[in-house]
Amino acid sequence: MYSAYIICTPLILAVFAIAGCTHEDSHTAPDSAAPSASTETAYPSGTPLDRPLTRSQPVRPKFPCRAIEATNKPMLLPSPVASAAAAAGDAGSTLLARDMQIPEGDWIDLLAGAKVTAKSPRTLRETSFEGPARVRPCVDHDEEAWIALGTFSAVSPGNESPGAEELVVTPLGVVRYVSATLTAHVDKRAVSVKVTGGSTFVLVPPFASLKTGSDAGAPDAGGGTWLREDPGFSGTLAASLADDKMPAAAVLACKNAAAATKAIATELMAPDASIGALGGAHTESRRLSHGLCSVARLVLAKMPDEKATGEAGAPRTPTSKSSLEEAVDAAEKDWRTLP
């Protein structure tokens, strides 16, 4: 029986140099509309901070995220600080409907009693959001959800793709899981998390603290590590800084983690590098950087635009929104670039 695949040899390569010599090439016509791999950029365009280019990772296919449930007229907004009242009076405003694709980059405004359930076609994972809330599911077409305000819930269907982690990003920390049943409620100064099934990991940034339900002592300050939490966990993330200090602190945490990740990547490029030891350390450092930089991006997204506060014509400062966004862009490039 002949193999279904063509084995390329130098002679065959010479004969079929123009036609190509792979099984896939001989049966699949190119589709200009489909996303293609590239070594030029690791991101889709149009993200809130215009993430920087990296040359060491291919573009992942963009899988649409859909709302399989949408009740009580959830509204799409351009940012978490946009006025829902103004958008409601705009003839071009968009309500999110059931089975509608959730546009990348848009936020969802949910009134009290409103609910949206998003489903990823890549992993089949379902995540729900209840109002009052401002949320952004499937950030960058990935397994990542941002909750500026409101309630997040996840129920494990048991058929998630192995290794496909979901990040639940809040202004005060991140919850990471593969298959779990949990809720996270975000208000202005605290985030409460409850885990009833499966295992999760909670990231507490340096400007927040975590107090568990059974903790009789002082809350644990953010140490920049992932803390494993199992079923029965109940805890609260609380801010340890004033609101006006949070953006700079979030960006600093992102920059420090990204710099450490880049340093490990540089070590990995040495001829005598210990791949076994450094490889694992690099993976964990990237995961930490991803979490902290996502928190920074969310915190900055909640800042008013400079033009809305009358600062557009004023000299930029290191703590202005545009300056902080550029710092996060640079940090994102540092930790995402592979050796």
How confident is the model over 55-75, as pLDDT tens digits?
344 455 667 889 999 999 999
- What pLDDT sits at residue 224? 72
297 in the same domain as 177: no
Q: Are strands 66-71 and 94-95 parallel, antiparallel or unpaired?
A: unpaired
pTM for the whole structure = 0.78
The runs of H, that is alpha helices, within the chain are: 10-15, 23-27, 84-88, 246-268, 275-301, 321-336
Q: CA angle, corner 159, sides to 153 and 163, nearest 5?
A: 85
What are the residue ranges in the chain where pLDDT is below 70?
A: 1-62, 86-93, 157-163, 214-223, 307-315
Q: How many domains does the chain have?
A: 2
279 in the same domain as 197: no
152 in the same domain as 136: yes
**Residue at 73 is within a domain:** yes
- Domain hosting 75: range is 66-241
Tell me the pLDDT of the chain averaged across its residues: 80
By CB atoms closer than 10 A (0-12, 13-18, 19+), residue 293 is: buried
258 in the same domain as 188: no
255 in the same domain as 233: no
CATH code at position 146: 2.60.120.1440
* Interatomic CA distance for residues 105 and 45, integer angstroms: 10
321 in the same domain as 192: no
- What pLDDT sits at residue 263? 96
Specify the residue for token string 């949408």.
Answer: 70
Domain limit, last residue, from 241, 271, 297: 241
**Residue at 12 is within a domain:** no
List, for residues 159-201, the tens digit of each pLDDT value. Answer: 566 668 999 999 999 999 998 999 999 998 899 999 999 999 9
